[in-house]
Amino acid sequence: MRRLLVTGGAGFIGANFVRYWAGKYPDDQIVVLDALTYAGNMANLQGLDEFAGFEFVHGDIADQKLVTSLLVDQKLDTIVHFAAESHVDRSIHEPDAFIRTNVNGTHNLLRVAREVWLNRDDAPPSHLFHHVSTDEVYGTLGPDDPAFTEKTPYAPNSPYAASKAASDHLVRSYHHTFGLRVTTSNCSNNYGPYQFPEKLIPLMIVNALTGKTLPVYGDGSNIRDWLYVEDHCRGIDLVISRGKAGETYNLGGNNEHANIDIVREICARTDTLFAERPELAVAFPDAPAATGKPTESLVSFVKDRLGHDWRYAIDATKSTNELGYLPTEDFDSGLGQTIDWMLSNEAWWRAVMDGSYRAWLERNYA
């Protein structure tokens, strides 16, 4: 039985992970620590109260006293560290928060873990600090470059990627210098339920339904490797259960697509869904598809992201060979499920986008 501290568990991947873990390991304890920034959302954790081992704590990973008391009082033995500022565009406009949370916050978790797990007599018999990182630390690829492996030199290009790279190095150093048991996973672009609609796929779905422009950066040729979020959660589970302390593992989807192709696919699927389901035109009257116009008419090629990485691709051979990792969701069904989820959860994305969730948060967590 594990006793987990899941940081950032109210965010997109963290919430999916908590749901995955509670379903698979119902006897485990899961304490979520989340600061509920704009990206954190209690609605993402709805229903988990019924799970006996679940607890939510509103707080900052940089709070040394709070993290210490959680680890000591609840005898937690595993940290799964998702909490981060995660959006590249925001890191270009306002990088400070990325350094504060991704670098200093991660360092605070590490020093508390070291103190509690390595220096105290009442430390649990075993421990693990799992750090959730990104493929963006490796930089960018050309069309014919081989995919990133765990040996690819770090070359982060955005303040977000640089802050994640710094945190990866800190995690590594706490293993090498102090003997803290750590693992790191570097993953490609996730998509699926509960993703904040500032990221490409949910943003395009929401804008297609509400008749807003679909902003494609540059010429839309940039390529990402897409992984359904549940496959990421399974991969993290494998690293936690079977990974070797001190090692890093790449997790990817073997699923490269240019942005413009993804946007066009979302447009085509939206048109088909509206043609098949007349009730959608009533629910989303501002969608072009509601009046038979092609959703693609909303596409607008806009100014490129500064320093925009052209291509990411993950070589997950090490994870496959050593852990048995393989993504199971194919993109066709994964994208379909994501669109269906957004159609069935209009209240969720409307609340996130129109700020009513923020107002609720201020009322309840001021």
Catalog residues that contact ligand DAU under the rule CB under 6 A: 86-88, 134-136, 188-189, 199-200, 203, 215-217, 222, 224, 259, 305, 312
Q: Alpha-carbon distance 33 to 127, whole Å?
A: 18
Please tell me whether residue 223 binds ligand NAD under the rule CB under 6 A: no
Toward ligand NAD, which CB reaches closer, 233 or 289? 233
3-class DSSP state of 184: strand
Residue 8, phi-psi category: left (phi > 0), alpha (psi -120 to 50), beta (remainder): left
**For ligand NAD, which residue of 4, 6, 13, 141 counts as binding (CB under 6 A)?**
13
In this structure, the number of other CB atoms found within 10 A of the CB of residue 145 comes to 12
Residue ranges of the alpha helices (H) in the chain? 12-24, 64-73, 88-93, 96-98, 106-118, 159-178, 200-210, 229-242, 259-276, 279-283, 317-323, 331-344, 346-354, 356-365
Work out how close the CB of 272 gets to ligand NAD at its nearest, in angstroms, rounded to a whole number. 26
Binds 101: which of ligand NAD, ligand DAU, none (CB < 5-8 Å by kind): ligand NAD
Nearest C-alpha neighbor of 195 from the set 4, 27, 349, 20: 349
Residue 219 or 286 with smaller CB distance to ligand DAU: 219
Q: Residue 194 is encoded by which pair of tokens? A: 């509960």
Tell the smallest beta-carbon distance from residue 187 to ligand DAU (Å): 7
Q: What is the DSSP string of 251-292?
A: E--S-EEEHHHHHHHHHHHHHHHHHH-THHHHH-TTSGGGGT
> Considering beta carbons, is residue 10 or 162 the nearer one to ligand NAD?
10
Binding of ligand NAD at residue 170 (CB under 6 A)?
no
Q: What share of the chain is helix, strand, coil (3-state, %, to 5)?
A: 50, 15, 35
230 sits near ligand NAD (criterion: CB under 6 A) = no
Q: Is the Cβ–Cβ distance between 340 and 270 less than 8 Å?
A: no
Asked if 175 is part of the footprint of ligand NAD (rule: CB under 6 A), the reply reads no
Whether residue 216 contacts residue 262, with contact meaning beta carbons closer than 8 Å, is answered with no
The set of catalytic residues is 135-136, 160
What does the angle CA 356 – CA 210 – CA 42 come to, to the nearest 5 degrees? Answer: 30
Q: 36 vs 299, which CB is nearer to ligand NAD? A: 36
Residue nearest ligand DAU, CB atom distance: 134
| Residue 312: contacted member of ligand DAU, ligand NAD, none (CB under 5 to 8 Å, by partner type) | ligand DAU
CB-nearer residue toward ligand DAU: 108 or 190:
190
Tokens found for residue 225: 């490797």
Residue found under tokens 């400070």? 96
Tell me if 187 contacts ligand NAD by CB under 6 A. yes
Give residues 93-152 in contact with ligand NAD (rule: CB under 6 A). Answer: 101, 105, 132, 134
**Are the CB atoms for 357 and 43 separated by under 8 Å?**
yes
What part of residues 64-93 is at the interface with ligand NAD (CB under 6 A)?
Answer: 82-84, 86
259 binds, among ligand DAU, ligand NAD, none (CB under 5 to 8 A by kind): ligand DAU
The answer to the question of residue 12 lying near ligand NAD (CB under 6 A) is: yes
Q: Which stretch binds ligand NAD (CB under 6 A): 33-41, 122-130, 277-285, 316-324?
A: 33-41
With CB cut-offs between 5 and 8 Å by kind, which of ligand DAU, ligand NAD, none does residue 203 bind? ligand DAU
CA distance 154 to 162: 9
* Residue closer to ligand NAD (CB basis): 84 or 170: 84
- Order the strands of the 3-7 sheet from edge to edge: 54-58, 29-34, 3-7, 78-81, 128-134, 182-187, 248-251
- Smallest gap from Cβ 105 to ligand DAU, in A, equals 15
Residues that bind ligand NAD (CB under 6 A): 7-8, 10-14, 33-37, 39-40, 60-62, 82-84, 86, 101, 105, 132, 134, 164, 187, 189-190, 196
